[in-house]
Structure formats: C-alpha cells, structure tokens
Chains A and B, each alone.
Chain A
Amino acid sequence: MSIIYQGKSIRTMNPHLPQATHIAVRDGHILAVGTAQDIDGWQKAWGPLELNTDFASRSLLPGFIEGHSHMMEGMFWDYHYVGFYDREGPDGTVWPGLKSIDAVVDKLKEIQATREDKDTPLLAWGFDPIYFTDRRMNAADLDAVSEDCAVIVLHASLHILNANNFVMDAADVKNADNSEFIRRDENGQPNGEFLGQLGYYMAMRTTGINLLAIASSPETLVNFANVARQTGVTTATDLVNPVPEGSEKPMRDAIDADDFPMRLVVAFQGNSKEPDEAVARMQELQASNSDKLRFSIVKMVADGSIQGFSARLKWPHYYNGAENGLWYIEPERLGEYLKAYTKAGIQVHVHTNGDECTEVALDKIEEALREHPWPDHRHTLQHCQMATRAHFKRMKSLGVGVNLFSNHLYYWGDAHINITMGPERAARLDDAGGALAEGVPLAIHSDAPVTALAPLFTAWCAVNRLSSGGVTLGNGTQNITVEQALYAITMGAAYSLKMENEIGSLECGKRADIAILADDPVDVGAAGLKDISVIGTMVGGIVHLNQGRD
C-alpha cells in the first residue's frame, strides 16, 4: 500500500527539489516527492496511491535529528517537575513553571500532603536558580516540606542538587571534609547544595533510588522518545552509554516496536574498556544494528563544562579568575583510543568544551590520522563551544565535523559574557556562522536533558544568538540563516552520524521520517521559529500525533 500525503508546504532539504506539495510513502520509505502530477506516474509500477489530506494544511520537513542528547531526558518524568518554564511531559501533560523559590517549596508541600507513603523519598527536578537572584534554596526550605523523609531537588543544569537535613544526616555530611562540591553557609555548615556527581551519589546512597538503573530502563527510553516526538524529532542520540553486555536486547525490544516513535543512535562510551576490547565490543554492537537502533559511533569525553568551570580553557583561562578546568581523560590516553578506533574504522565523537581541549583533541585526531589515514573518518567535535576561526580552518583540513551546543547561547550566554569567558570570547560562543564560513560540516544540539530537547528552539538559538537576559552574542558573523539552521537539524546532523544517505532529507528512496509542523518555518522566520507548533511525526511511514496540537 502506498499513501500520498499532501502538505501545504514541503521543505525537502534536497537541493534538486527544495519544495514540494506531495510525498508518497511505501514500506516505510519515500517513494516520491513533488507535485501530485509528478508522482502520478509511479502508479504504473506500484499500483494505486491513496491520497491522505490529514496534513494538507501543515508544513512537512524531514524529521528532525538531535545529534547530541541523552536518553536520561526520559528518566525524570516519574518525579516532580519544578522548573521555571512550563514543560510538557511525555504524556502531553503540561507542568506549569514555578516563578519563585517559595512557589517551588509550596508546590512540594502540596505534593507531600497528598502522597500516600509520606516516608518514601520525594524527588523533584528542573529547578533553575538562575532566575532567582535574591537568594539560594537551602536545606531549611526543604525541611519545611518534610523533616521525616528525603527531599531532593535536582537543578535544571543537572550539575547541582539541593537536599534537606534528613538526607544530610543520613549521609553524615556535617563532619565531612571541606570540599568544593559541598556548599556551606556563613557558619561553615553544609547548606544543602551539592555539586557534580557527589550530589547524585549522596542521593542514591541515602535514598536507595538507583538513578543509574532508571536512566537505562526501557521505560525511560519510551519517555525519551515521546518527549522527542513532541518536538518533531525522528532520530535522537544517546550520546554516551557504556552498553554493558546484555543491555542491548531490552533496548532493542523497546525500540523496534512499531509504536516506539523514534530511531536511536547510541554512542558507545569510548573508554569504558581498554582500547582493544572496546573496539571488539563496538564491532559486536555494530553487527546487531537494526533499522531503528544503531550502535554506530563512539563518544570520548575530554573535558568538563564551561559554566561548571571544568572545561579546559587556553590562557588567560576564566574571565573571573577561576582556575583552569579538568581533563576527563589523559590527553595521551585520548590519543591511544583515537588511534585504535581510527585504525578499526570507527567514527569518534569527542566532547570538547574549552578551546584548550579542542586544540588537544585536534592534535590527537591528527596523530591518529597520520598513523591510520582514513579519508572519510568524519570524527566530530561535540560542543566545541569556544572554537576560533583558526580551529575551524584546521577542522576543515583534517575532515573533522562539529556539533555546536547552540542552546548555550540562550541559557548561559549572559554568564559567559560576564563570568566565564568575558565579552570578547563570548562573541564567538558556538560560532555556527564561522563553522559554515570555513566549510566545516555543522550540526547543532540541545544536550538534553541539560537543556530542553527541541530542535526548532536550538535552530532559533543559532539564528538569533539571543541570551535569556536579552543580549545578542557576537556581531552577526556568527549567526546562521533559518534555512541553514533547518539544514543543521536535519541533513547536518544526519551527516555527523553518517546517516545522510538514509535520513535528513525528503527524497526518493530515503526513510519516511517526517516532522509535521503547523507552520512553515521559513515563512515564520527567525523570531518565531521556536514557537512553531509540532503536530506530530512520521517514523518509517508510521504517523505519531501529539495530543492537543493545532
């Protein structure tokens, strides 16, 4: 059975036929794109085409591809959202934004009052203190929710959490050695804020909730896919997963189901085993790929985050004088892994945030390529937020692609100008315009759940470069056009995953993966990109509609 879908506008990302009105779908693939007349001739070979006009007033684009996200995005929805902005859950429920610390505490009190088992841990997430400048949330705030059970609030950045005194007593932190990861009040007592992995570790050790197991459960995968579906995503990535032996089967069972609305590309955690074993494991995983689940790339993490002051910056380092960040792997070891993967023909995505780290990663990629020349390796730098034009030139020469963290412009743009990088370097933050000008293959990403998964929002960030404080970053050379941004969230990301032959554009023979939008993003233009309503998606010819959208 072939169905021909009519759209109000179809933007294909195929330069031979950028716009169309009809698209024919058969066996999960695109039979043809064009006008009804163009497509008509296919009936001779394939039989009648059934016209479907459900989306005749909609705009159809290639399904969006999120080239850097984490399936962890799906793990928190069983807990309570307390973020600043309204957020829509996988079931379509809208969780209203909370506009003050008191509002968060009141919400948690309300939840506690209605819970049946009041002694079990109360976990909330999405709290964003950036918007509350008058004071920090502390343990006393959460003691007001309950003194008799663990109350834990995870921040939106995922780098910090707040805990009540019940948790701190259980962890016996009152006598803990001084640590930069335990915030203290003016009397030197832990104030309830814990940074980095330390907080998560404490939360798990004191509540017994195994967040690690939840993060990789099939339920989390389903939630993740449903959140993705609501934003028009048809292929997402889980950009770092150790894929323990035996974990691929339950993943595949969940993903290969017809009603699972997404393809997933899993990046194997590159240094979770020694180089030889890691290559062997990766080859084993690749042999088990299916249409919807791919183990095709490797991720290596080389430094931390800029806003967490753990990224490696070149001299003169951080604007506020903070000491330079951290290597997450010895540069020498990074080099060993890059050589092993390059030799085996396995594509590597390297997380580099700071410019020092970007340079070292390029050094190591170059060394690997000297030993094991590979014309289309397509190794990719992820985040790569501080790259200069010189770095982009070198990436071009080496054949290295980039996936920039454009959402940072909005969420942390002000912090980068004022605290971490200073105005001069912040101007080039996530320089998509520079990457394209130098000829570097470009994708842009959300790093969900670090920021919300929504490619149209990411595109809006790269196009407008506007911070949440209302400041425009850069002088215009860093901005990209709406068309370039749409390309980046479709073909750009597909190319970074070596899937440009299968997905990323609407053209004959490719997979029938489509984002169904209320309005044409090119017509809407730069300012309104992020507000376009996503009606649903099609994945391999199967339509998945979002609830209550028009």
Chain B
Amino acid sequence: MQTPATNARAQKTPLTIISGFLGSGKTSLLNHLLTQAGPENGGRRITAMVNDFGALNIDAELIAEKHGNQIALANGCVCCSIGDDLMRSFIEVMQQDPLPDHIIIEASGVAEPTRIAGFASVDPQMRLDGIVTLVDAAAHHIHANDPHLADNYGKQIEAAHLLLISKPDLANAQQRAALNDELRAAYPHVPLAEVTHGKMPIDVVLGLNSDSAPALPTDEMAHNLVQWAGHLPPLPRHKIVKRLETLRPHVLRAKGVLRDSAGDYVLHLAGGRISTETYAGDASGHFVIIGKPQMPDAATLEKLFTQNEAA
C-alpha cells in the first residue's frame, strides 16, 4: 500500500457517490449503471459498494463468483457489501489488484455524501468523480419536512454535482413542476434531470476517467435526453469553457479531446463541474455534449463552438 508521493490525478480511481433517502431509487440507478458496464460497453470495470446485495437484484447468470461480502459479476464488475463499515469496505476495495476503473458507492439514506467523499481526498489512489443525489418526486415534501431528517435531506441535495428527480411517474404534474422549479432556483448550476426506474446513461453519471467520448445509448433509456457532437477548431480553452457555461443548466455531460496553443487537453463537464487535463495523445478535436431537450439545437451549438469570436 506504500505509494509514491506524486500521483497524477488521472491515475487515481474515480469515486462516484450515489446519495438519496431510503426508497429514492439508488439501487435502481446502480443496477442500470452496472448493466451498462463491462467489455461490450467500453470495458469499465466498476466496483459497486452497496448496503444490500439482495436489493440489487442481480441476474443469477451474471454472478461469476460469490464469496464473503463480495460478488464478482461476469462483466468484470464487483459488488461489495458495506455492512455498515465504510472504512473497512474502502480498505478492502482498494486492495483489489488491479484496482477497478471506477468505484460507485450507494450511500446509506442518512449518509452525508461529503463525509464519504473525504475518503477519496486522503487516499493516494482515489479521487472524487462526483456526487449524484436522487430526489424522490412524490416524497419530496415529506422528506423536506421530516422532523428528524429534514436537515440531512438538505445536505444531500446541497452536496450534489448531479441532481436526479426519481419516480416522476408517481408525482402529479404540479408536484413535478414545483420540485423542478425549487431545485432549479436553489442550485442553478447543478445539472438536473428526471430519471424513471433508474434509467440513465452511464456516461451522464460517471465518466471523468474514461478514454472514450460519452455516448448516448439509443434505447428508450435516453428518451428525454439529446446529444450533439462536433469537431472544434483550436480555440483558447477558456473560451470553450465560457461557452459551455452558457448552456447550463441544460447540459448534463460534455467531453472533448481538444487542442489550443498551450497543448492538447481533455475537457470534461461531469457532475456539474468543468475541468481540463493534459492529453498525451494526438487531440482529434472531437466534442460531445449530452443535455436536455431544452438545450439549443444542433445548428446553434455548431455555431457556438466553432466560431472564432466569443459568443
């Protein structure tokens, strides 16, 4: 476990925290993320830290091996039961050799996600990728007014880099609109989307560490999201960042392998945060954005990102 003092950010295993109350759909989301992992889908080997195997509902055929508190899946992913001992679980997970490509933790319903994130900040080989908080559309008003849990609920929402409104089908139109407005007003810069039965593209939820561009699956999962892809000329990176900013809150995820006078770099918008890191290869200029239908149309985006003058 002794590691060299310098660790490039890119070499660290990203950690995504799925937060939300009991019954908010964390397990459904995790289930869907796991089915989208594995060799057929870009080869991400995910280790999922969960509270309860049983709830995960893993297809028996997918289970390659089960021992103790770990289940190895046929697609290369691993599920670990936390058993109320987060520290022990992290120690065990980080002893895997090789380390997973991505760690997803299904936080307990009362966990403060920022506390869990702390483990990543002191681990030489882990970094926080993002905090995703699920908000139950139908139960929001109950949770927000719970005499013992309201403060906790607020902290989970506040910590989010991506807010997902779950079970929209169980709420009426008025509830949905009110919740949307409330969250939009309180967290204008945090991407916000609705999710039904956990169906959300893996590249929206995870992704800073992947080498492939985020891609929107064509199945029904993505019915309420849109994608734009294009090739960008070598513009100064601060300009690209600024233009991307103008698309908030409608953009959920973006990735580009780009070039400017300072060199080749990868630009990410994930979990609500924009970041850049040096790219060692030969940048293609390929740029992908996944967002909501309210996002400007393709022609507008094309113009926004390819014209030389600041938009």
Contact = CB atoms under 8 A, between A and B. Distances in A.
A322 interface: no
B122 A205 contact: yes
A170 interface: yes
A345 to B, nearest CB: 23
B152 interface: yes
A205 B7 CA distance: 14
Given A179-B114, A205-B124, A272-B84, A329 B2 contact: no
Interface stretch (A195-203, A410-418, A493-501): A195-203
Contact of B118 (A182, A301, A356): A182
Given A177-B128, A330-B22, A194 B122 contact: yes
A172 B7 contact: yes
B121 A201 contact: no
B149 to A, nearest CB: 7
A205 B128 contact: no
B90 A326 contact: no
Contacts of A200: 87
Contacts of B22: 330, 332-333
A194 B121 CA distance: 11
Most chain B CB within 10 A, of A182, A204, A210, is at: A204
Interface residues of B, number: 39
A302 to B, nearest CB: 10
B3 A170 contact: yes
A274 B149 contact: no
Interface in B1-35: 1-3, 5-7, 21-22
A208 interface: yes
Interface in A177-219: 177, 179-182, 194, 196-202, 204-208, 210, 212
When A and B form their complex, which 10 residue pairs have the shortest distance between CB atoms, in order from nearest? A176-B121, A202-B122, A327-B110, A208-B1, A272-B83, A169-B5, A330-B109, A179-B118, A197-B87, A198-B118
Given A170-B124, A197-B87, A330-B110, 8 more contacts: A173-B121, A177-B117, A198-B118, A205-B125, A212-B88, A244-B68, A269-B83, A326-B110
A333 B109 contact: yes
B238 interface: no
B148 A179 contact: no
B119 A201 contact: yes
B19 to A, nearest CB: 13
A383 to B, nearest CB: 18
B303 interface: no
Contacts of A182: 118, 121-122
B182 interface: no
Given A177-B128, A326-B112, A242 B118 contact: no
Contact of B108 (A198, A323, A330): A330
7 contacts: A170-B3, A206-B3, A206-B124, A245-B68, A269-B84, A326-B112, A327-B148
Contacts of A172: 5-7, 124
B152 A327 contact: yes
Contacts of B125: 205
A271 B152 CA distance: 20
Interface in A331-352: 331-333
Interface string A289-331: 0000000000001000000000010000000000110111111
A208 B124 CA distance: 12
A210 B21 CA distance: 32
Contacts of A197: 86-87, 119
Contact of A171 (B83, B90, B123): B123
B219 interface: no
A363 to B, nearest CB: 9
A549 interface: no
A196 B119 CA distance: 11
A197 to B, nearest CB: 5
Nearest to A202: B122
A550 B71 CA distance: 57
A181 B119 CA distance: 10
Nearest to B146: A331
A36 interface: no
B103 to A, nearest CB: 14
Contact of B90 (A194, A201, A328): A201
A273 B52 CA distance: 8
B91 interface: yes
- Tell me if B's interface is mostly helix, strand, loop or mixed: loop
Nearest to B126: A205
A206 B5 contact: no
A170 B2 contact: yes
Contact of B5 (A170, A181, A212): A170
B108 A329 contact: yes
A251 interface: no
B126 to A, nearest CB: 9
Contacts of A199: 122
B98 interface: no
A98 B301 CA distance: 67
B281 interface: no
B94 A205 contact: yes
Contacts of A202: 122-123
A54 B73 CA distance: 65
A369 interface: no
Contacts of B94: 205
A518 interface: no
B277 interface: no
Contacts of B124: 170-172, 205-206
B220 interface: no
Interface in B108-138: 108-110, 112, 114-115, 117-119, 121-125, 128
A242 B5 contact: no
Contacts of A331: 148-149
Interface string B187-210: 000000000000000000000000
A328 B123 contact: no
A59 B2 CA distance: 53
B115 A181 contact: yes
Contact of B121 (A179, A210, A271, A324): A179
A332 B142 CA distance: 14
A391 to B, nearest CB: 16
B275 to A, nearest CB: 13
Most chain B CB within 10 A, of A201, A212, A326, A329, is at: A201
Given A181-B115, A181-B118, A273 B83 contact: yes
A254 interface: no
Contact of A198 (B85, B109, B122, B152): B122
B16 to A, nearest CB: 14
B111 to A, nearest CB: 9
B91 A201 contact: yes
